[in-house]
Amino acid sequence: EAQVTQNPRYLITVTGKKLTVTCSQNMNHEYMSWYRQDPGLGLRQIYYSMNVEVTDKGDVPEGYKVSRKEKRNFPLILESPSPNQTSLYFCASSFRGASYEQYFGPGTRLTVT
């Protein structure tokens, strides 16, 4: 089944404790992206990657890191999480020439206390 998977789905952590949210897709997509979704602010792009070893900042990159060492994986790293990073996170992927049609994962609900 073609899909984007994220792990974990739910995470409660404390301020400053480094964490990684994994994202994997099995559709051979070149393009991958991370979004956060907050009430009243909608979906905002954090980082994106157009291919292996190519990443760039989205609208809200502060406090986040990403890497793209393999085509199928695009982990999101929070080196020192803070409460303002409490949010619902989505990973998405698409073919490079069809980035308007992105496939989203199920989401990761992160709470930072």
Partner 1 sequence: GESVGLHLPTLSVQEGDNSIINCAYSNSASDYFIWYKQESGKGPQFIIDIRSNMDKRQGQRVTVLLNKTVKHLSLQIAATQPGDSAVYFCAENMAGGTSYGKLTFGQGTILTVHP
* Residue 40 near partner 1 by CB under 8 A: yes
* Residue 109 near partner 1 by CB under 8 A: yes
| C-alpha to C-alpha distance for 63 and 65, rounded to whole angstroms | 7
Angstrom distances, CA of residue 39 to CA of 1, 29, 55, 72, 74: 31, 29, 27, 30, 25
* Residue 50 near partner 1 by CB under 8 A: yes
* Residue 93 near partner 1 by CB under 8 A: no
Nearest to 104 by CA among 71, 74, 65, 78: 74
* Residue 42 near partner 1 by CB under 8 A: yes
Considering only 46, 90, 110, 112, the residue that binds partner 1 (CB under 8 A) is: 90
* Residue 7 near partner 1 by CB under 8 A: no
* Cα–Cα–Cα angle for 80, 89, 7, rounded to 5 degrees: 85
Using CB under 8 A as the binding criterion, the count of chain residues that bind partner 1 stands at 29
Nearer residue to partner 1 within complex by CB, 34 or 78: 34
